[in-house]
């Protein structure tokens, strides 16, 4: 069976065929029975340019009939499980195939889900990149567009939808001969749908089930065109559908895109359906957009999550033009739809909805995904080389989406907004309902922007990999050189001119192999294969020896007073890829930020362009230096910014005082990259983050910062510093929670942060007051019914703070190892009024309990050994929803008992018997924090099972196994790196997509080993 369609095979079919029409009938009248298969019948009419033989894609349990041009072919001879081979004649051809296709539980093909809340059955399809072949026979490649005519036979009470509107219905037959079960008593109906416009197979769609929803309509204010709108979800979630908000965002988006693109919405109706166990955020099927129903909010969420849902809606809507109307020829040019949709979705979010600061979250979270992906040894250009569909599946990544969108922001800055949209309008009109390559779009853009060198820009940005790093060296009138931050955040030249870090090292991480090949570490992007690894600094010394005496001899960076005047400014760009002298044209803005009372505000801003290795920034000369100099102000560029040392110190202590949310996010992004690259101590970052708790009010920034902070706790804090780090941060979070505004986003965010940190205290070697408070908070949540206020917490004992949370001022630090402000130090409890409360109770007025909080609290207590299976069963009984089921699976697998881990591993090994989301839930519990190394014995089992994970499962299920079970949780991380290298060396012929996943996880773990090796116990 050959399931991995190659680019060459697809190109050969394109040269041979032109597809006219598919007539597809799907019979799911047995969906509510135990039958595992359903009838699929396809008639495809096409033209062949010459006599030949070819194949059509189909993954099915069996093929019962194959007929080409009236001639019957023996299925056993022409069907191999994934392809049906047949001869073609020159001219018109007609192929008919009947098959028994399988209901899916992996989210690929036709997925079947039974809602545990009410027992109702739901179906939906998901195809990208090539899973339409799991439902009906087709030429499953994007450039063989055709008209599709669907009909579906289903139980009469099912709501059945497809890409186009329903043309007619008629009573249908019951289950066909050969299928068990009988649904005829309830009656069945056959739904006939109108023919689609020319489109690719991967964006066809069918949904069926007792879906419920709402309808509305949108009228184009320019043309008067009326589009029927629908919003749908499961019956058990329909009360939470929030259709008014969904329709409001939808109408705003349609207004925006039809106006900006000067092209009417082309696909007739616009249904949006929220479906269970979905592998993606959403899919842009024209006329029937599918979304994960996790975007239906049953419990209270922050504004960041409403913003995220709006962004997803607009991203998919942008695809109606970029991707659906004009589609890439092959997956090499996936960016022609995904990068554009990511950018356009963000633009529409900021300009057409209430989320006017939508670019803030993009800057801190979306771009962090891009930066991380671009630093892996597996990074690739935006325009990638995709030899087959397995490679395509993995290229839906941070490069194609977030980097591509970021680079498009840079392109808009480079050519101008009007020229960019003029080129886009020309692109739609010239290639409507067709397929394109990169050169086609660039040609349209060049026509719209004749004064710009589009070809040179594209070569520098789209054809290269890696991320530029921008640094600024300043001199001021009353201070010596501020230092060259290209040597690292917090770095000053030492006596010999070398970059010596004030905290012990000026080096960047290098992960090398004994074979001489390299796997890139932070800031070190050289690609290579994995061999036996070691961790070195740039001078070649072992990473374990990084904590040198230089920490006590190098003067720490100072802060600027804000009164200095800039007398010299040199900007430098360097690519993160090792040995790569890539220079890109950059167009961006620079700002100096200074104090205005207790706030930090922009003083001066201006646009700047350069494409050389370094350049003098003349517009800065004579301006006030302020306290922070910010490159890439307004986030027009795709580059990692290195703050100069003085700006870094101001950011660490005062980032929350920056009034502009986007500037604040960009400063935090620079700090995030610095700690990730080993240029800022992990403890220093965590102190800065602890200071921000209770001060930061932007929901998107809060979410982004907590993600980095939890990564620090989970992966980057050395074991000897773990207890101090997590108890200090937990104490700061509890203190901020107690002071949070009732009912605010910050209150909800901090409550969930406290629970997340509490679960991680399972790894603590000793108990502490902060840990006790975390347990007390979780216990109180479980003592309060859903819908009631968690108005106070009763600690297990009177609480003395472990350290100052920094709540009262910029000088306070959480109680991290070695700090004067730690437990018992001069900055401890009561020193600034910001310490953890020592009263008998802590009030949390306005925090209304819900199922999400209860499950998070229960799972935390399970990890700590303070709750058992009885508690889980009781909670699941009170919340029998699909979400409750998944939480129960996670909590059950998280129980800190050897027998539980054995059973969980056995269930995971039988992944084919589990749905996609249930599998992930069990894996999440299996690897959950525990006081004992209960799963250490599964490290070798993981590597022994890797090939089986991949070969025995669909790509989606295999990906969940490979990523979710990678033993980054091992107590011997260096040994895991070595075992990973050994597996890679022993399996050079393993599927490239599998090797890519393993190499990326190895890179993450090697980073963690390095960052831990640089830490002393007194940062």
Q: pLDDT at position 1016, please?
A: 74
- Lowest mean pLDDT segment, chosen from 60-74, 144-158, 778-792, 886-900: 778-792
CA 244/CA 235 separation, integer angstroms? 17
Q: Percent of the chain beyond pLDDT 90?
A: 81
Q: Is 109 helix (H, G, I), strand (E, B) or coil?
A: strand
Q: Is residue 615 part of a domain?
A: no
Tell which of 209, 226, 253 closes a domain.
209
Q: Is 813 helix (H, G, I), strand (E, B) or coil?
A: coil
The residue-averaged pLDDT of 44-66 equals 98
Same domain, 820 and 901: no
CA 398/CA 391 separation, integer angstroms? 14
Q: Is residue 960 part of a domain?
A: yes
CA distances to 366, 491, 829, 832 from 684, rounded to whole Å, are 24, 14, 20, 19
For residue 129, cis peptide bond before it (omega within 30 degrees of 0): yes
Burial 400-429 (b: 16+ CB within 10 A, else e): bbbbbbbbbbbbbbbbeeebbbbbbbbbbe
Evaluate whether 283 touches 289 at the Cβ level (below 8 Å). Answer: yes
Same domain, 919 and 972: yes
Query: Does residue 835 surpass a pLDDT of 70?
Result: no
Same domain, 76 and 128: yes
Average predicted confidence (pLDDT) for the chain:
88
Query: Does residue 814 surpass a pLDDT of 60?
Result: no
CA distances to 83, 132, 135, 195 from 101, rounded to whole Å, are 13, 11, 6, 23
Same domain, 756 and 853: yes
- Residues contacting residue 956 through CB under 8 Å, at least 6 positions apart: 106, 107, 108, 279, 916
The pLDDT tens digits for 159-180 are 999 999 999 999 976 444 334 3
- Residues contacting residue 344 through CB under 8 Å, at least 6 positions apart: 257, 314, 315, 318, 322
Evaluate whether 620 touches 388 at the Cβ level (below 8 Å). Answer: no
Same domain, 841 and 916: no
In total, how many domains does the chain have?
3
Same domain, 853 and 966: no
The pLDDT tens digits for 551-567 are 333 455 677 887 899 99
The pLDDT tens digits for 182-193 are 444 459 999 999
Q: Is residue 806 part of a domain?
A: yes
Same domain, 832 and 908: no
The residue-averaged pLDDT of 771-779 equals 94
Q: How confident is the model at residue 843 (pLDDT cuts 50, 70, 90)?
A: low
Tell which of 843, 862, 881 closes a domain.
862
Query: Does residue 347 surpass a pLDDT of 90?
Result: yes
CA 458/CA 439 separation, integer angstroms? 10
Same domain, 944 and 997: yes
Q: How confident is the model at residue 577 (pLDDT cuts 50, 70, 90)?
A: low
φ, ψ dihedrals at 11, nearest 5°:
-65, -40
Tell which of 189, 209, 229 closes a domain.
209
Q: Is residue 417 part of a domain?
A: no
Q: Is residue 749 part of a domain?
A: yes
Of 316, 564, 649, 1000, the active-site residue reads 316
CA-based max dimension of the chain: 90
Cβ atoms within 10 A of the Cβ of 750, count? 26
Report the predicted TM-score, pTM, of the whole model to 2 decimal places: 0.89
Q: Is residue 523 part of a domain?
A: no
The residue-averaged pLDDT of 652-681 equals 97
φ, ψ dihedrals at 520, nearest 5°:
-65, 145
Alpha helices by DSSP H, listed for 784-879, are 851-864, 869-878
Same domain, 831 and 949: no
Same domain, 733 and 857: yes
Q: pLDDT at position 767, please?
A: 87
Evaluate whether 631 touches 614 at the Cβ level (below 8 Å). Answer: no
Query: Which tokens sit at 449?
Result: 């922007």
Evaluate whether 341 touches 284 at the Cβ level (below 8 Å). Answer: yes
Query: Does residue 220 surpass a pLDDT of 70?
Result: yes
Q: pLDDT at position 186, please?
A: 57
Which residue from 910, 879, 981, 989 is spatially nearest to 116, judged by alpha carbons? 879
- Residues contacting residue 815 through CB under 8 Å, at least 6 positions apart: 724, 727, 728, 731, 801, 802, 803, 804, 821, 822, 823, 825, 828
The pLDDT tens digits for 950-981 are 999 999 999 999 999 999 999 999 999 999 99
| Beta strand 226-233 pairing with 212-219 | antiparallel
316 catalytic per annotation: yes
DSSP 116: T
Query: Does residue 722 surpass a pLDDT of 70?
Result: yes
The CATH number linked to 23 is 2.60.40.1730
Same domain, 851 and 900: no
Same domain, 841 and 976: no
Q: How confident is the model at residue 1017 (pLDDT cuts 50, 70, 90)?
A: low
CA 143/CA 875 separation, integer angstroms? 50
Q: Which domain holds residue 54?
A: 1-209
Q: Is residue 317 part of a domain?
A: no
Which residue from 658, 627, 657 is spatially nearest to 643, judged by alpha carbons? 627
Q: pLDDT at position 811, please?
A: 36
Q: Is residue 661 part of a domain?
A: no
């Amino acid at each position: 069976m050959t399931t991995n369609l190659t680019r060459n095979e697809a190109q050969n079919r394109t040269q041979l065929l032109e597809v006219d029409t598919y007539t597809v009938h799907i019979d799911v009248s047995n969906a509510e029975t135990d039958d595992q298969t359903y009838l699929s019948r396809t008639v495809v009419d096409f033209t062949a340019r010459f006599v030949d033989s070819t194949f059509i894609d189909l993954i099915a349990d069996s093929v019962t009939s194959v007929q080409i041009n009236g001639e019957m072919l023996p299925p056993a001879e022409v069907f191999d499980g994934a392809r049906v081979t047949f001869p073609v004649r020159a001219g018109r051809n007609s192929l008919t195939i009947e098959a028994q296709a399988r209901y899916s539980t992996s989210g690929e093909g036709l997925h079947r889900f039974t809602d545990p809340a009410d027992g109702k059955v739901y179906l939906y399809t998901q195809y990208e990149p090539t899973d339409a072949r799991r439902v009906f026979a087709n030429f499953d490649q994007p450039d063989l567009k055709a008209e599709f005519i669907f009909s579906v036979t289903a139980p009469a009470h099912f709501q059945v939808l497809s890409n186009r509107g329903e043309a007619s219905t008629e009573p249908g037959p019951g289950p066909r001969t050969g299928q068990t079960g009988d649904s005829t008593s309830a009656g069945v109906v056959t739904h006939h749908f109108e023919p689609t416009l020319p489109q690719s197979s991967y964006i066809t769609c069918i949904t069926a089930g007792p879906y419920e929803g709402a309808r509305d309509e949108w009228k184009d204010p320019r043309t008067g065109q009326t589009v029927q709108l629908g919003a749908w979800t499961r019956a058990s979630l329909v009360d939470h559908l929030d259709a008014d908000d969904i329709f409001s965002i939808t109408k705003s988006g349609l207004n925006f895109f039809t106006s900006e693109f000067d092209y009417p919405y082309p696909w007739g109706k616009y249904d949006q359906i929220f479906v269970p166990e979905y592998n993606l955020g959403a899919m842009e099927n024209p006329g029937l957009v599918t979304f994960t129903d996790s975007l239906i909010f049953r419990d209270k969420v922050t504004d960041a999550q409403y913003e995220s849902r709006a962004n997803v809606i607009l991203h998919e809507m942008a695809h109606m033009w970029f991707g659906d109307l004009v589609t890439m020829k092959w997956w090499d040019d996936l960016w022609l739809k995904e990068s554009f949709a990511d950018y356009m979705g963000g633009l529409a979010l900021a300009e057409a909805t209430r989320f006017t600061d939508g670019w803030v979250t993009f800057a801190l979270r979306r771009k962090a995904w891009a930066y991380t992906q671009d630093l892996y040894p597996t990074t690739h250009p935006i325009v990638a080389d995709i030899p087959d569909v397995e490679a395509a599946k993995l290229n839906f990544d941070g490069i194609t989406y977030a980097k591509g969108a970021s680079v498009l922001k840079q392109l808009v800055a480079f050519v101008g907004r009007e020229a960019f949209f003029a080129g886009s309008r020309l692109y739609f009109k010239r290639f409507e309902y067709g397929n394109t390559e990169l050169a086609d779009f660039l040609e349209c853009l060049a026509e719209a922007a004749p004064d710009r060198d589009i070809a040179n820009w594209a070569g520098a940005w789209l054809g290269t990999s890696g991320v530029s790093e921008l640094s600024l060296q300043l001199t001021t009138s009353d201070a010596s050189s501020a230092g060259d931050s290209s040597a690292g955040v917090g770095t000053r030249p030492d006596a010999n001119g070398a970059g010596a870090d004030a905290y012990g090292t000026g080096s960047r991480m290098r992960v090398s192999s004994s074979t001489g090949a390299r796997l890139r570490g932070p800031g070190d992007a050289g690609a290579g294969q994995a061999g036996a690894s070691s961790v070195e600094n740039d001078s070649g010394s072992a990473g374990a020896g990084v904590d040198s005496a230089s920490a006590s001899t190098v003067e720490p960076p100072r802060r600027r007073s804000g009164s200095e005047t800039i007398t010299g400014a040199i900007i430098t760009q360097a690519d993160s890829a090792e040995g790569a002298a890539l220079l890109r044209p950059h167009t961006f803005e620079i700002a100096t930020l200074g104090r205005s009372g207790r706030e930090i505000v922009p003083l001066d801003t201006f646009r700047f362009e350069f494409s050389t290795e370094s350049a003098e920034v003349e517009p800065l000369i004579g301006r006030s230096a302020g306290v922070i100099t910010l490159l890439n102000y307004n986030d027009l560029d795709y580059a990692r910014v290195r703050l100069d040392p003085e700006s870094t110190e101001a950011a660490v202590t005062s980032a929350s005082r920056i009034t502009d949310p986007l500037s604040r996010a960009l400063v935090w992004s620079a700090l995030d990259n610095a700690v990730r690259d080993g240029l800022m101590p992990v403890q220093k970052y965590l102190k800065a983050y602890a200071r921000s708790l209770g001060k930061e009010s932007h929901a998107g920034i809060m979410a982004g910062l907590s993600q980095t902070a939890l990564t620090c706790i989970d992966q980057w804090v050395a074991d000897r510093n773990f207890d101090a780090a997590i108890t200090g941060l937990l104490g700061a979070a509890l203190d901020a929670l107690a002071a949070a505004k009732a009912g605010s986003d910050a209150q909800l965010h901090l409550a969930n942060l406290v629970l997340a940190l509490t679960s991680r205290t399972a790894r603590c070697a000793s108990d502490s007051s902060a840990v006790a408070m975390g347990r007390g908070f979780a216990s109180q949540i479980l003592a309060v019914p859903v819908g009631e206020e968690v108005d106070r917490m009763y600690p297990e004992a009177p609480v003395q703070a472990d350290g100052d949370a920094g709540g009262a001022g910029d000088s306070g630090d959480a109680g991290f190892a070695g700090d004067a402000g730690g437990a018992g130090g001069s900055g401890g409890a009561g020193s600034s009024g910001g310490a953890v409360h020592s009263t008998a109770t802590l009030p949390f007025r306005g925090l209304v309990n819900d199922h999400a909080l209860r499950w998070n609290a229960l799972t935390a207590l399970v990890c700590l050994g303070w709750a058992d299976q009885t508690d889980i069963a009781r909670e699941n009984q009170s919340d029998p929803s699909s979400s409750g089921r998944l939480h129960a699976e996670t909590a059950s697998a998280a129980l800190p008992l050897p027998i539980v881990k054995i059973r969980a591993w056995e269930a995971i090994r039988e992944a084919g018997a589990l749905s996609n989301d249930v599998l992930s839930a069990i894996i999440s519990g299996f690897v959950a924090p525990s006081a004992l190394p209960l799963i250490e014995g599964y490290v070798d089992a993981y590597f022994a099972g890797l090939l089986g994970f991949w070969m025995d499962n669909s790509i989606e299920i295999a990906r969940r196994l490979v990523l979710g079970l990678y033993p980054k949780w091992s107590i011997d991380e260096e040994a895991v790196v070595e075992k990973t290298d050994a597996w890679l060396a022993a399996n050079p012929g393993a599927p490239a997509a599998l090797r890519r996943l393993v190499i990326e996880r190895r890179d993450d773990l090697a980073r963690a080993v390095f960052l831990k090796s640089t830490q002393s116990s007194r940062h």
